[in-house]
């Protein structure tokens, strides 16, 4: 299975929840602190192919999943 990438920031509870979900499912994931890496929401929007207003923003491989709620739904549908 391809790696999940979670773009988040410090103090974000939904970012923590996204990491926990990946850990619970034993998914390979990488967490990227957007503040530490100097990544803007505009940068994320370019990668996502649409405007983003919140974090986390989660990708599975190159596929944009969305935020935490979207990740929960995506994981539930993986079977």
For every one of its 79 residues, what pLDDT tens digit does the chain have, with 9 covering 90 and above? 899 999 999 999 999 999 999 999 999 999 999 999 999 999 999 999 999 999 999 999 999 999 999 999 999 999 6
User: Could you say which architecture CATH assigns to the domain 4-76?
Assistant: 3-Layer(aba) Sandwich (3.40)
Cα distance between residue 21 and residue 53, in whole Å = 21
Question: β-strand 57-60 against 4-8: which pairing, if any?
Answer: antiparallel
- What per-residue confidence (pLDDT) applies to 14? 99
- What per-residue confidence (pLDDT) applies to 64? 98
Q: Where are the domains of the chain?
A: 4-76
């Amino acid at each position: 299975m391809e790696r999940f990438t979670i773009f988040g920031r410090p103090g974000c509870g939904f970012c923590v929840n996204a990491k926990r979900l990946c850990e619970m499912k034993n998914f390979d994931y990488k967490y990227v602190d957007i503040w530490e890496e100097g990544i803007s929401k505009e940068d994320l929007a370019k990668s996502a192919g649409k405007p983003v207003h919140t974090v986390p923003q989660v990708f599975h491989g190159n596929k944009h999943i969305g935020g935490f709620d979207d990740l929960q739904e995506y994981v539930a549908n993986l079977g």
